[in-house]
Amino acid sequence: MHSSFRTLTLVASMSAAGLLAACGGGGGETSTPAPGTLGVSLTDAPSCGYDAVNVTVRAVRVHQSSSAGENEGGWSDITLPVPRKINLLDLTNGVLETLGETSLPAGHYTQLRLVLDPNNGNSKANSIVLTTTPTNTTEISLDTPSAVQSGIKLNGQFEVVSGQRVDVVLDFDACKSIVTKGNGGYALKPVINIIPTVLNGIDGYVNPALLSSNVSVSAQQNGTIIRATVPDANGKFTLARLAPGNYDVVITADSRATAVIGTVPVVSTSSRVDVSTSAAPINLLASATRKIDGTVSLTPTSTTAVAYVAAQQTFAAGPRVTVKYRGADIADGTYSLANLPIAAPQYGVYSPTLPIALTTQTTTTPGTGKYQVTASATGYTTKTITSVDLTTADQAGVDFALVP
């Protein structure tokens, strides 16, 4: 399910060990450093309403050079015994899927490639599952980039120390990685982030009665979604592996007003902070919802860049937050931001004394039932429409033309 604006992630954790000494020739003694160990796991964020997002992982490749080509020497591989089809939606709230480990020469590594199996014929190695009727779902193949054959290239740095272990966690941002491509098709456009080392973060509960309404919880900074998740069957959520700092926790659901807890502190890479309890979970007020439709054009056109559109609001004495975002269709540039609440959001500043009081805010910018809408794409200048009014009707034709 989050970036932002569910991305691949590097997480390093070291364990102590020694050096392996060996005797050289000629009567002298030399020491040969022992190799280190690399372990790789997969995790995910919410996926924008899909019933499943499947990727089939075949291998992980690493290299010390960020510019090394796929056929150059020096690669080390973790090859799964059998390609593994993984539903990313099973990996929220910090859950990890272990992909394997390998011995590596000690050194500084700057490139990692995730190798996926391609779709062949009727095989749906990489796919989404959507509900088509109340009683039926359908699995749709994802068009995958040519890079799945050689590995989706990730530039991130990690150190393999002699006799020690480093763990790399690939955080697949499914929501930003799945985009429409016209005529009912979908494409995989992988999005990658790097997150901190240990399992720290923000914990809380939402009212379990909301769970059928596509609840999403995100940790944001200045309207940028840093981490996102969905609550479990008990309403519990964990926003895991956050860098130390202050975050705004944003809770959204269909047909509900937005709730925001501002300035939640994560003080260290090992700290956990609660924003609500099972005895007093966060509840969201009922709200009518409307939608914003439009197109995003890119000049010059691009076969690789994806435009993302976000609907945001700013509190009078608080943060700017993203309520909804989506990627534009890569074929025709169309987008739709649905289920935007028109009721005033709730807001409360973090306090260690729970529950945190949430009060209705009628002085948001651009105003109750109105949104600031922003379009962005890598390599293009971000553009913003400062006020889109949903108080009386849906809004169509909210269009953007992005240039470098």
pLDDT, residue 194, reads 56
The half-sphere exposure of 82 on its side-chain side, counting CA atoms within 13 A, is 3
223-245 pLDDT, tens digit each:
999 989 999 999 999 998 888 99
Average pLDDT over residues 166-195: 82
pLDDT, residue 319, reads 94
Percent of the chain with pLDDT over 70: 89
pLDDT, residue 30, reads 58
pLDDT band at 31 (very low <50, low <70, confident <90, very high): low
Average pLDDT over residues 103-121: 89
DSSP state letter for 346: E
pLDDT, residue 47, reads 64
329-364 pLDDT, tens digit each:
999 999 999 999 999 999 999 999 999 999 999 889
pLDDT, residue 176, reads 86
CATH topology for the 33-188 domain:
Immunoglobulin-like (2.60.40)
**Where in the chain is CATH 2.60.40.4130?**
289-346+362-402
* C-beta neighbour count of 304 within 10 angstroms: 10
Distance, in Å, from the CA atom of 5 to the CA atom of 11, rounded to the nearest integer, reads 20
Nearest in space to 305 (alpha carbons), one of 338, 325, 329, 334? 329
308-337 pLDDT, tens digit each:
999 999 998 889 999 999 999 999 999 999
How many residues does the structure list for the chain?
A: 404
Task: Measure the CA dihedral 230/231/236/237, to 10°.
Answer: 0
Kindly report which listed range (8-12, 187-191, 279-283) carries the lowest average pLDDT score: 8-12
The answer to whether residue 66 scores a pLDDT higher than 50 is: yes
**Where in the chain is CATH 2.60.40.1120?**
33-188
pLDDT band at 42 (very low <50, low <70, confident <90, very high): confident
CATH topology for the 289-346+362-402 domain:
Immunoglobulin-like (2.60.40)
**pTM of full prediction above 0.85:** no
pLDDT, residue 199, reads 76
Q: pLDDT averaged over the chain?
A: 87
Tokens found for residue 171: 């955080």
